[in-house]
Every structure is written in C-alpha cells, then in structure tokens.
Amino acid sequence: MKKIPSSSITPEHIYRSRRKFLKWMGIGAAGAALASCAVDEKPAAVTAPSGENETPVSEELEPQEAPTETPLPSASQMTDELGRQLTRYEDITNYNNYYEFSLNKGAVAPLARDFPTRPWTIEVDGLVNTPTIFDMEDIYQMFDEEERIYRLRCVEAWSMVVPWLGFPLWKLLEKVEPTSDAKYVYFETKLDEENMPLVNRDMFVWPYTEGLRLDEAMHDLTILSTGLYGQRLLPQNGAPLRLVVPWKYGFKSIKSIVKIKLVADQPRTFWNNYAPQEYGFYANVNPKVDHPRWSQATETLVGAGIGRVETLLYNGYEEEVASMYEGMDLTVWY
Ligand SMILES: Nc1nc2c(c(=O)[nH]1)N[C@H]1C(S)=C(S)[C@@H](COP(=O)(O)O)O[C@H]1N2
Ligand SMILES: [Mo]
C-alpha cells in the first residue's frame, strides 16, 4: 500500500468537487481519479536544484503506471483539528473489533473478507410516518457523501483518527418523519449465520444492537458512514453502512446496519446487556470515570508510536455536544 506524501494534501474545495465527480462516475473510476490526482500528483516539471545545463524531467518521460483495480486510499488532510495524525489505512482496516467474526482484532479482516455486502437493504420503521426499506444503491445516490475526520476512542483505551466518508444520520431520519412519540433510535447489525463464525455461539446475545437518544441521533456530528480514506468501507469496518458517534466509546458505532427503528423507550443494547456496570447506554467518553477494570484517563493511538495521549472529555467534542447532557453528573458512569 502506498503512503500518501504530505506534499500531496488536497485542498478541501478540490476534494469536494472530486467527490461530486465520484458520484457521477461511480466509485471505481472516481477512486482511480482520486488516486491519480491526490496521491500520485507530481509537479509538471522538476528541475534540478542548480546549474543551467540540467534538463527538466517531464512527466511524459516517466513510465506510465498500469491502472490499479483497487483505488488508493486518500484523504483531504493528514491530521485532525487537534493535530493528531490520521491513522494509517492499513491499521484502520486490519485492527478491528467485530465480534461476529472474531474476538481477535487481527483476525477480523481475513475472516470478513468474503462477507457479502451486496445487495443490501436497511429497514427504517417504528414510530415514523413513512416507514421505508432503503436499498444501499439508492442511499449512495440520495445523500452527498462528505469526509469527516473523527477520533474513534474504544472503551479498551486505544484510539484511531479516521477520515470517514458518510452523511449525517439526521438526513436519513428526516426522510422517514419520526412521530412525536419517538424518543430513541434503535440499530441492528445483520445476523448472517453462514458468514459470521461467532454468531452461532451463545456467549453473547445476537444480533449486535445499539441505541441513541433521539437528540443524539439528530446531532450533526452523528453520521452513517459509507467509506473511509476516499474508498467504500471494507467488511471489517462495517460495510456497507455503519454508525459513527465520535464523542462516545467505539462500541456505540455499530457496523453493517440492516435495521433502524424509532422507539419510545431506551432500547436494550449489546454491550449494556452483557455487562451493564462496564458498558453504559450513554457511554460518553470521559477520562474521569474509569472502567471497573482499567483507567480511562489516557489512550494509545494505534500505529502512532507516540506512547499514551490524554483522553479528552466527550473525546474532544465537548463544545459541540456538552449541552445535550446538562445536569448529568460527570463523575459517574452512564
Ligand atoms: N456489529 C458490530 N459493531 C461493532 C462492534 C462489533 O463487535 N460488532 N465493535 C464495536 C467496537 S467495540 C468498536 S471499538 C468499533 C471498532 O470499529 P473499527 O473496527 O472500524 O475500528 O466498532 C464497534 N461496532
Ligand atoms: Mo471498542
């Protein structure tokens, strides 16, 4: 896998217009366009640093690279707004929590490689005026995919910085028109007994489920992700559609969603069901409240090799989200 040199960082507006191009061309060709523009971009002519006799090296002289089948990963910038480096594509796609496949983070990617994600539908119903079954192909057309660079903080005290592609969940919820009785949103992962090796074991209650309060679900930071690093999601990251809630511990960001339901009461969720004292329903990132078995004060940034960094309240999104939790005691676990 090629690393993206920092010299080829693409200005935001160019990146965005490429995204439109991507929609028009379809992902494969657009991915190639991204790769050729953002990753392989070289100055038109490189002149040797000194001397009049030097010949400019023009692009035409370089051997033409064969078109690659898999587009190269690409992002609009190489750091988040706090200056933390993006986690490498290889790390994001090979160090995964996806318990349907394996409890071993390195084993998920190979086990999930052939997980079928097409065709795919997402059923959105419950307390809504227009229950709808969305086809994933229509979702790609219906919503503009934007890049969101977010920190992902796992409850196990490791983290990543991920350039997601996706769209705000509120845009999808708006389409189904929640009724005034809807107070929470419930999510469910596909239960595929044939392709998910661990769902036949009864150590957990399957399918994987999650939930948000309606205001959390409608918050603009909450996205449904379709890709990362300018490419479609791979199965290990929750293809074709997964939730990303950046101010909450990673287990809230449920993968491979097939069902979304608007409900009146706080739904039962996978980890909360399993061990309520360890995994709360709210699960907002909070360095002051330790997990019963380990500290939450710091975290290891996967692949960065810089030791532990401070964990931030609401994972650094305090300004955007704190008002939703006014009056909550920040010294206890929810
Ligand atoms: N269906 C499902 N979704 C899931 C999980 C899982 O085991 N199954 N693990 C969660 C946890 S604990 C984390 S930290 C993130 C990891 O996402 P990533 O592998 O894309 O980094 O996915 C979350 N979503
Ligand atoms: Mo996690």
Quick one: pLDDT at residue 71? 72
pLDDT score of 333: 87
The string of pLDDT tens digits covering residues 151-163 is 999 999 999 999 9
Residue 67's pLDDT is: 61
Beta-strand pair 121-126/257-263: parallel
Nearest CA owner, ligand 1 atom 19: 96
The stretch 105-113 carries a mean pLDDT of 98
pLDDT tens, residue by residue, 127-153 = 999 999 999 999 999 999 999 999 999
> Which of 68-82, 277-291, 302-316 is least confident?
68-82
Residue 69's pLDDT band (cuts 50, 70, 90): low
Q: Can you name the residues that pair with 151 across neighbouring β-strands?
A: 161
As for ligand 1, residues whose beta carbon falls within 6 Å of it are 96-100, 152, 154, 189, 208, 237-238, 250-251, 253-256
Q: CA distances (Å), 133 to each of 104, 118, 188, 258, 263, in order? A: 33, 15, 14, 10, 17
pTM for this predicted structure = 0.82
Would you say domain 78-325 falls under CATH 1.10.3210.10?
A: no
**pLDDT at 101 > cutoff 80:** yes
Structure tokens at 7: 């010299």
According to DSSP, residue 172 is labeled H
Nearest CA to ligand 1 atom 11: 251
CA distance 133 to 148: 26
Is the pLDDT at 16 greater than 80? The verdict is no
